[in-house]
Amino acid sequence: MMSMPLEKSPLHAPAGRIAELADQCVQCGLCLPVCPTYALDRNEAESPRGRIAIASALARGLAEPDAGLREHLDHCLGCLNCEKVCPANVQYGELLIETRALLGPAPRRPRLLLGLAKRPALLRALRRLGGWLALPRWKNRLARRLPQHSPWRTALLDLPTGTPVAPVRASGNKSEQPRLALFPGCVASIDDAEAQQAAVTLLQAAGFHVSVLPAFCCGAMDLHGGAAATAEQAAQQVRRAWAASGASQLLSVTPGCLGTLRRALPGVSVFDPVELLAARAGSLRFRPLAQRVALHLPCTQINVARTDAALLQLLRRVPELEVLPLPRPPYCCGAAGSHLLEFPARAGQLRDATLRQAATLEPQQLLSSNIGCRLHLAAGIDQQGLHWPSQHPLALLARQLEPSP
């Protein structure tokens, strides 16, 4: 088997830290039933317990970082379902990030595509150009001419067909010192601009003042892809923008960014606006909407933001709206940051299983808070001819919001 050099020598930091984290695992196996990759392969090496054993062996220099072991680690979705159920409190998320950093950037990482995704100004200009060239009408035909495993094929298939809306704008009186700052992100600053504006509208209606940080990448895809140095540069940009904001709390409507933002800003309160809105739900009034909606709860909303219950509570305040959370398993839709670009077949299997669960609910639309999950699911909905519109739950709530008297 092909082997790759480790970034650092075994048992030098962070290898020592990996070994320490791995030693917390008592190998009980309680995490296996909630692991989506174990459900796909029924292979111990594709389970949390197996990956912990691999990480431990690599860190201690007891195994060579060959392509096979590397792939088991790279298949991990970082969903953290395992961490949530672990009775020994194994910090699997940290262990995965440190192990991938030790190994260096994943060989399948589509560097050019990710480099583009991390430049929101360029991406917005290209999307505008694509709109003029009617790209949304022929992108799927173009994508199907590309090899099955090309990340560009997946990116084209998942590209939304609508025109991007204007970037999010701050709320309220500019002379007032903002206490909340919204982080727009990179791809989300374009494809979740509507949800971000919805968050600002809802927070303003609930009595908050919100400022908006510049749009840039938080570094999540680099951090999870083993590109530690690039992730650190992004973290430094987060810290500079945060320091300049004068705010006391940072918000993101994209649960997938929260963990990376928290890591960049230790000691800062970084959370999903749903938490604040649920706490002031009594000040928000909604118009009725007679619809049945399927609610997809991203892993990061459940395991990092931990706002799944608060979101349900908010949505259930819309009169006549029937909100049905998607049954699980599967425990992940397969998007998982850049996983859908690196392993499109595996991501497609998890998405098909998620959409089969959604179909049992016979929804009129599908809601999901994470932009990566929503684009991935929307492409599957389109390919299967299901005709369910999809949107961020906050976009639905802002549309139904009664204007203040």
Q: Which position among 6, 30, 146, 386 is part of the footprint of ligand SF4 (CB under 6 A)? A: 30
Which tokens in the block code for residue 56? 């431990």
Exposure b/e, 32-66, CB count within 10 A at least 16 = b:
bebbbbbbbeeeebbbbbbbbbbbbbbbeeebebe
In terms of phi and psi (left: phi > 0; alpha: psi -120 to 50; beta: otherwise), the region of 41 is alpha
Q: Which position among 55, 79, 228, 270 is part of the footprint of ligand SF4 (CB under 6 A)? A: 79
Given the complex with ligand SF4, which of 71 and 322 has the nearer CB atom? 71
Q: Which position among 14, 69, 81, 123 is part of the footprint of ligand SF4 (CB under 6 A)? A: 81
Residue 253 and residue 312: Cα distance in Å, rounded? 15
Given the complex with ligand SF4, which of 81 and 245 has the nearer CB atom? 81
User: 303: helix, coil or strand?
Assistant: helix
Given the complex with ligand SF4, which of 22 and 193 has the nearer CB atom? 22
Stretches 24-32, 267-275, 359-367, 390-398: which one binds ligand SF4 (CB under 6 A)? 24-32
Residue 26 and residue 90: Cα distance in Å, rounded? 9
Q: Which position among 2, 11, 28, 309 is part of the footprint of ligand SF4 (CB under 6 A)? A: 28
User: 211: helix, coil or strand?
Assistant: strand
Q: Rg of the chain over CA atoms, in angstroms? A: 21
The DSSP call for residue 302 is I
Q: Which position among 18, 21, 22, 31 is part of the footprint of ligand SF4 (CB under 6 A)? A: 31
CB half-sphere exposure, 213, CA atoms < 13 A: 30
Work out whether 57 is an interface residue with ligand SF4 (CB under 6 A).
Answer: no
Stretches 28-36, 155-163, 276-284, 397-405: which one binds ligand SF4 (CB under 6 A)? 28-36
CB of 302 to ligand SF4, least distance (A): 12
Stretches 29-37, 134-142, 281-289, 396-404: which one binds ligand SF4 (CB under 6 A)? 29-37
CB of 321 to ligand SF4, least distance (A): 31
Work out whether 27 is an interface residue with ligand SF4 (CB under 6 A).
Answer: yes
Exposure b/e, 226-245, CB count within 10 A at least 16 = b:
bbbebbeebbebbeebbeeb
Given the complex with ligand SF4, which of 39 and 205 has the nearer CB atom? 39
Q: Helices 92-103 & 15-22, crossing angle to 10 degrees?
A: 150
Binding stretches for ligand SF4 (CB under 6 A): 25-31, 34-37, 48-49, 51-52, 76-82, 86, 88, 90, 92
